[in-house]
Amino acid sequence: METNPYIKELAKYLTQLTKEEQEDVLDFYSEYILDAQMTSEAMIVHKLGTPKQLSRKILADYSIRALDNEEAGLPHYEPKSKKNIRMIWLVILALLASPVAIPLVIAVIAVVIGFFIAIIGVLIALVLTLLGIVIAGLAAIVGGITVWSASIPTSIFFIGVGVAALGLMLIIAPIGYLVIKALIQMTANFTQWIYNRYIKNKHKQKNEVA
Amino acid sequence: MSIPITTELLDGCVLALLTKENYYGYALTQRVQEFTPVSESTMYPVLRRLRKEKWLDTYDEPYQGRNRRYYRITDNGRTRLTEIQADWSQYRDTVNQILGGTTDGN
């Protein structure tokens, strides 16, 4: 059965699924192709899309399902934001592979890229702010120690300011981390919404015409 | 028919078809396409999900020197089908009232 070049090519794009999942997908489609008596590659592509297009739909579907399962409280094996980023990427690929109007694809990608730039911007701002606070704090502590012999109250004041700055940093860091995570989550939700709204529906509409 | 089918309704229709006979992938897709325009690549995820939920199971049967995978509804699947039928008939009655359609089914 795996002699079909279409199935062979499809298999190449599914390597990130488990062996069992891959087998299940490939069995289903090789059986489908035989039963539908699609004898030529052109017929298969007409019905199922190119192997690459089909694989993107399959992967996007697996990815979104995995995310749903996670929300349902099932165990997961990788950090959620990493999974989200992968899902966003797969949905962009699925959009590119689907016959949605090109302007829409561009708009969606622009929005997603916009979110990413926002995330990176927040990240850079946060890192620089923290760095600034740390340097200022350390400088205050060092300065405080050097004036110890001249004036003990001044020295204690500076050391106190320095320690407070370091403490402040410890408070800001987790908040920044949460903000970045929330931004990634928002992008993921938006992408998933786009997937449900356009890829699934577009597909049905297209078929209707055919 | 220009009204797209929802996931729940599609689940229900697939389960309902399977109460009458066991189908293999291609035949089932053909049956579903008779009443709603689902694409060839939509059915696999649907069947996979239904099996994962244990609403249907599969068995292989040899056919012309290869295997065909048949889908069969489970008891859980029948329970789920009853739920979907109840949801649907409630929804249908409400929409009929608003659209000013027929009042049959009562």
Q: Taking the mean position of all CA atoms in its chain, how far away is CA A121?
A: 17
**Max Cα separation, chain A?**
94
- How confident is the model at residue B92, as a pLDDT? 92
Domain-terminating residue out of A58, A78, A98: A78
Q: pLDDT at residue A76 above 50?
A: no
At A36, give phi and psi (nearest 5°). -80, -5
Contact status of B48 with chain A (Cβ, < 8 Å): yes
Domain-terminating residue out of A78, A106, A128: A78
The answer on A132 and A54 residing in a single domain is no
Inter-chain CB proximity B66 and A1 less than 8 Å = yes
CB pairs under 8 A between A and B: 62
Range B7-97 classified under CATH 1.10.10.10: yes
Identify residue A62 by its one-letter amino acid code. Y
The answer on A192 and A116 residing in a single domain is yes
Q: Confidence class of residue B35 from pLDDT cuts 50, 70 and 90?
A: confident
Which pLDDT tens digit goes with each residue over B43-96?
A: 888 998 899 899 999 999 998 888 899 999 999 999 999 999 999 999 999 999
Identify residue A136 by its one-letter amino acid code. A
Inter-chain CB proximity A204 and B27 less than 8 Å = no
Using CA atoms, how far apart are residues A94 and A60, in angstroms rounded to an integer? 7
- Predicted ipTM of the assembly: 0.83
The answer on A136 and A63 residing in a single domain is no
Q: Confidence class of residue A69 from pLDDT cuts 50, 70 and 90?
A: low
B38, B47, B66: residue with CB nearest A34: B66
Q: pLDDT at residue A107 above 90?
A: no
